[in-house]
Amino acid sequence: MSHTGLQAIRAAFVDFAGTVADPEQMMQQFRYLPDGLLLTEGGKIISLTPWQETTVLPENCIFNDFRGQLIMPGFIDTHIHYPQTEMIAACGEQLLEWLEQYTFPVESKYGDPEYAAKMAAFFIRQLFSNGTTTALVFASVHPQSVDALFSEAEKYAMRLIAGKVMMDRHAPQSLLETPEQSAEQSRALIERWHGKGRLGYAITPRFAPTSSAELLQQAGALRNQYPDVWMQTHLSENLREVEWVRELFPQQDSYLGVYHHFGLTGKRSVFAHCIHLQDKEWDCLQQTGSAIAFCPTSNLFLGSGLFPLDRARAQHIPVGMGTDVGAGTSFSLLCTLGDAYKVQQLQNNRLNACEAFYHATLGGAHALDLHHQTGNFNAGNDADFIVIDMAATPLQALRQRNSKDIIEQLFVLMTLGDERNIAQTWVNGQCVWQQGTTEALAIP
């Protein structure tokens, strides 16, 4: 199982072959090979070519025949909270009450390294079993929670970006820190983990309401000191939250203006939600090259609102998909795309399957500024991919037989699909998870 030599994989393949960020050009970049041959070596893609009668497999390669199944790049989850795994599906509140009632108490448990390690292992398995190979993850405020998560991801040489939550007000005392402590702990984690294998660090101020000006200033200083680390936070998710930010930061003219003031916008900055933005905030996202994580299951579950994907498209802002577990209700990017479609329907906008799968793969890579490393089968990219069973249930099989082309099949997949459709997940050129097993396959 653990083999990083030359491998040949025969199957049907879909991906987006180009690197142009504009989703409107995605139809041209969509690549479908009904019968293709993928070569990988040392965890990287060597080539993807059509299988031909004359194809001869290279010598000394391991051959995997997945005919009848579809392979696509692994999903990229651009917004998720690992300590919230255990409180997914908490009933009855909108954002601010939900945080107080459910989220903060659960996150307090992650100061215990043993507990964090156990939950990190469960979390990574959930990602794999749902076909997610890269994620941008919030840990808790405790540095131990980040150590536990990165240690687990490192076992699989996974591409994972995460950070310690920074917060110094409006949360239970046991979860608060001083701006100096917060920056010092974040800095130590950057030094320990950022750039180690395929791991990356994200500076993670939770959101403006739990941040003093001093804390945001410290976050901005870290960003300056380490320009290639990521920054993740929440923005304009809930109307009461937006109003609260106006009261807390009266000197700034908008919610995004607060983050921008402290130097937290730009490439590699990922803002989750972005539902209730003003025109000037859309312009600021565009001008700074910032990215958005669209989290439809969470936005529906917390009653936050409807993300205007057409506006992001019009302003050419990179959009990745986020499950936002535990406010989101599924680890599955397939379920997330299904809800993304419905959120657009409620606004009389369209989201076709081609664009949807773009956002879950190469579009997510763009949002993370990783499109030269992952998100499609271009030569040199990560060999991170999923083997999909398009007909995992009798109903899916029936409906897929009635589909006229691959685009309709993908639409059915995102509407009816979930983790049952993920037959295998491969990370760094190795199978790390397989349908029917409860454990992740161990990689030495």
> Would you tell me which residues interact with ligand GUN (CB under 6 A)?
81, 95, 99, 103, 206-207, 234, 237, 298, 324, 327
Q: Measure the CA–CA gap between 143 and 189, rounded to whole angstroms.
A: 7
- The interface partner of residue 99, options being Zn ion, ligand GUN, none and the CB cut-off 5 to 8 Å by kind, is ligand GUN
Within 13 Å and on the Cβ side, how many CA atoms surround 45?
23
The 3-state DSSP composition of the chain as helix, strand, coil percent (nearest 5) reads 40, 25, 35
- Report strand pairing: 62-73 vs 385-388: antiparallel
**Choice between 272 and 386, CB closer to Zn ion:** 272
Say if residue 326 is preceded by a cis peptide, omega within 30 of 0: yes
Smallest gap from residue 280 Cβ to ligand GUN (A): 22
- The interface partner of residue 206, options being ligand GUN, Zn ion, none and the CB cut-off 5 to 8 Å by kind, is ligand GUN
**Choice between 204 and 376, CB closer to Zn ion:** 204
**Choice between 93 and 253, CB closer to ligand GUN:** 93
Smallest gap from residue 221 Cβ to ligand GUN (A): 22
Indicate the DSSP class of residue 272: E
Smallest gap from residue 324 Cβ to ligand GUN (A): 5
Smallest gap from residue 238 Cβ to Zn ion (A): 11
Q: Measure the CA–CA gap between 86 and 437, rounded to whole angstroms.
A: 21
Evaluate whether 319 touches 351 at the Cβ level (below 8 Å): no
Smallest gap from residue 81 Cβ to Zn ion (A): 6
- The interface partner of residue 168, options being ligand GUN, Zn ion, none and the CB cut-off 5 to 8 Å by kind, is none
**Choice between 10 and 273, CB closer to Zn ion:** 273
**Both tokens assigned to 330:** 């599924």
**Choice between 300 and 392, CB closer to ligand GUN:** 300
Helix (H) or strand (E) holding 66: strand 62-73
Which runs of consecutive H residues, i.e. helices, occur in 43-173? 95-98, 104-107, 113-129, 143-154
**Choice between 324 and 369, CB closer to Zn ion:** 324
- The interface partner of residue 237, options being ligand GUN, Zn ion, none and the CB cut-off 5 to 8 Å by kind, is ligand GUN
Closest C-alpha to 426, from 35, 25, 15, 44: 44
Closest C-alpha to 361, from 393, 341, 336: 336
- Residue least distant from Zn ion (Cβ): 324
**Choice between 71 and 137, CB closer to ligand GUN:** 137
Smallest gap from residue 134 Cβ to ligand GUN (A): 20
- The interface partner of residue 207, options being ligand GUN, Zn ion, none and the CB cut-off 5 to 8 Å by kind, is ligand GUN
Residues binding Zn ion (CB under 5 A): 272, 324
Q: Measure the CA–CA gap between 119 and 146, rounded to whole angstroms.
A: 12
